[in-house]
Amino acid sequence: MNTPPPPRLSVRGLEVAFGGLTALSGVSFDVADGETVALIGPNGAGKTTVFNAVCGLVKPRKGTVRIAGRPASARPTGLLKAGVARTLQGLGLFEHLTVLENVLVPLTSLRETDAIGKARKALADLGLEHLAARPAGTLPYPERKRVALARALATDPRLLLLDEPAGGLGSADIDALADTVRAVADGGRAVLLVEHHVDFVMEVADRIVVLDFGEVIATGTPEAVQGDPAVEAAYLGLEAVGAPTAAAADESGTA
């Protein structure tokens, strides 16, 4: 009998501490190829800390992060080689560079013609090719968000990490983003996203992992999670789930 492949991303028993305070405790979940998983929770729940642990930006005290069965690398080049790309809340664009130059940034190891081809395809897929020569800093915010997404997609990632992709977008742009996320997953890629826009999450996610005070309090389909009393309590503050931790300080109250 054939052994099934490992999940694209596997997080097991993740524990992260800052000083003497615990930011994540016992966090476990998987993301399979072709699946979109959303991390949601109140501000300071630990969502961005999970992202940073996956990317090697923080070192877990306990637990493991594996990508396609192998330990995650702490080096950005290692993540690229592992097929991982991430967008940032703050976009991270070079405003004085053109749109095309921004998308080329992670492709420097390729031959120039190959890199330009990949960058232009990513721009065309997101309807941005006509803006290739524009300085990124001159674009409206929604278009800059799409440039950041194009930069991530240009690397042909097998695992795409989206940090607040719908933040600051209007309804039409969110609808277009949902179409893009679905197309990425339909193409066989794994997507892990952190998002406060619950309607967007419910539309695109196959599964949802809910964090509160650094712990997983619910996981399941959007329908199952939406009706979970613990989730409602966490969002509405009807009862305390756990105790305040360093996660709030780590995430600056934004995630």
Indicate which CATH number applies to the domain containing 214.
Answer: 3.40.50.300
Assess whether pLDDT exceeds 60 at residue 241: no
Of 156, 173, 207, the residue that ends a domain is: 156
Burial of 109 from C-beta contacts in 10 A (0-12 / 13-18 / 19+): exposed
Residue 255 covered by a domain:
no
Of 136, 156, 176, the residue that ends a domain is: 156
The domain of 23 spans 1-81+158-250
What element of type H or E holds 77? Answer: helix 76-81
Q: Which residues of 129-141 are buried (b: 16+ CB within 10 A; e: fewer)?
A: bebbeebbeebee
Which band of pLDDT confidence, cut at 50, 70 and 90, is reported for residue 29? Answer: very high
Of 162, 154, 161, 158, the closest CA to residue 104 belongs to 154
Q: Are residues 89 and 68 in the same domain?
A: no
- 178-188 residue pLDDT tens: 999 999 999 99
Domains identified in the chain, total number: 2
Question: What is the distance between the alpha carbons of residues 43 and 32, in angstroms, rounded to a whole number?
Answer: 26
The token duo for 243 is: 């105790």
How many helices and strands (H and E) does the chain possess? 10, 10
pTM surpassing 0.85?
yes
Q: Are residues 136 and 95 in the same domain?
A: yes
The more confidently predicted of residues 229 and 138 is: 138
Give the CA distances from residue 9 to residues 14, 57, 159, 247, in Å, rounded to whole numbers and listed in that order.
13, 16, 8, 22
Of 156, 176, 197, the residue that ends a domain is: 156
Question: What is the distance between the alpha carbons of residues 251 and 255, in angstroms, rounded to a whole number?
Answer: 6
In this structure, of 89-93, 130-134, 160-164, 213-217, the range with the lowest mean pLDDT score is 89-93
Q: Residue 76: its pLDDT value, please?
A: 58
Q: Are residues 76 and 168 in the same domain?
A: yes
